[in-house]
Amino acid sequence: MGDDWEDMGMNVESGIRGDSYTAYESDEEQARKRRLIIISAIVAAALIAAYIGYRVFFHKPAPAAAPAAPSVTVIIPGKTSIVGSVTANGSLAAKREMPVGVAGEGGMVQRVLVEPGDWVKAGQTLAIIEQSVQAGEANSAAASVRVARADANIAQSDLDRAKALVARGFISRADLDRKTATRDAAIARVAVAQAQYGQSRARLGRLDIRSPADGLVLTRAVEPGQVVSSGNGALFRVAKSGEMEVRAQLAEQDLSRLHVGDRVKVTPVGASQSFIGHIWQLSPIIDPATRQGIARVQLAYNPMIRPGGFASVDISRGKTSAPLLPESAVLSDQRGNFVYIITPDNKVARRDVKVGDVSDQGISVLSGLSGTEKVVYSAGAFLNPGDKVTPVAKTAR
Per-residue pLDDT tens digits for 56-88: 665 555 555 556 778 888 888 888 877 667 888
Q: State how far the Cα of 298 lies from the Cα of 266, in Å rounded to an integer.
A: 10
Q: What is the DSSP string of 73-90?
A: EEE----EEEEEEEEEEE
- The answer to whether residues 312 and 267 touch, using CB atoms and an 8 Å cutoff, is yes
What are the strands of the beta sheet with 215-220, ordered from one edge? 97-100, 236-240, 215-220, 119-120
Q: What is the β-pairing status of strands 390-393 and 71-75?
A: parallel
CB atoms within 10 A of CB 236: 23
Which fold is adopted by the domain 132-207? Helix Hairpins (1.10.287)
CA-based end-to-end distance of the chain: 119
Question: Which among 330, 397, 325 has a CA at the least distance from the CA of 361?
Answer: 325
Residue 31: count of CB within 10 angstroms of its CB:
10
Question: Can you tell me the mean pLDDT for 182-203?
Answer: 82
Q: How many other CB atoms sit within 10 Å of the CB of residue 346?
A: 14
Q: Which fold has domain 72-79+323-393?
A: 2.40.420
Q: Are 143 and 242 in contact (CB under 8 A)?
A: no
Contact 84, 319 (CB under 8 A): yes
Kindly report the backbone phi and psi dihedral angles of residue 5, in degrees, each rounded to the nearest multiple of 5, phi listed first. Answer: -60, -35
Per-residue pLDDT at 116 exceeds 90: yes
* pLDDT value for 143: 82
- The stretches of the chain forming alpha helices (DSSP H) are 2-57, 132-168, 173-207, 252-255
Contact 66, 89 (CB under 8 A): no
CATH superfamily placement of domain 88-94+243-318: Efflux pump adaptor protein, beta barrel domain (2.40.30.170)
The Cα 28–Cα 256 span in angstroms is 110
Residue pLDDT, tens place only, 220-245? 999 999 888 878 889 999 999 999 99
> What is the mean predicted confidence (pLDDT) over 48-54?
70
Domain boundaries, the chain: 1-61, 72-79+323-393, 88-94+243-318, 99-130+208-241, 132-207
Spatial separation of the C-alpha atoms in residues 315 and 87, rounded to whole Å: 6
| Total-model pTM | 0.54
**pLDDT, greater one: 170 or 286:** 286
* Residue 94: CB atoms within 10 Å: 22
At residue 356, the 3 state secondary structure works out as strand
Which numeric CATH code is attached to 99-130+208-241?
A: 2.40.50.100
Task: Decide: residue 289, CB within 10 A, 0-12 exposed, 13-18 middle, 19+ buried.
Answer: exposed
The CA distance from 353 to 346, in Å, is 21
pLDDT of residue 5: 40
Q: What is the pLDDT of residue 115?
A: 94
pLDDT per residue over 340-377, tens digit each? 988 889 888 998 988 877 777 788 888 888 888 889 98
Q: Are the C-beta atoms of 277 and 297 separated by less than 8 Å?
A: yes
Interatomic CA distance for residues 92 and 111, integer angstroms: 31
- The CA-atom distances, in angstroms, between 123 and each of 120, 211, 213, 215, 253 are 9, 5, 7, 11, 44
- Residue 165's Cβ-side half-sphere holds a number of Cα atoms within 13 Å equal to 15
User: What is the distance between the alpha carbons of residues 156 and 148, in angstroms, rounded to a whole number?
Assistant: 12
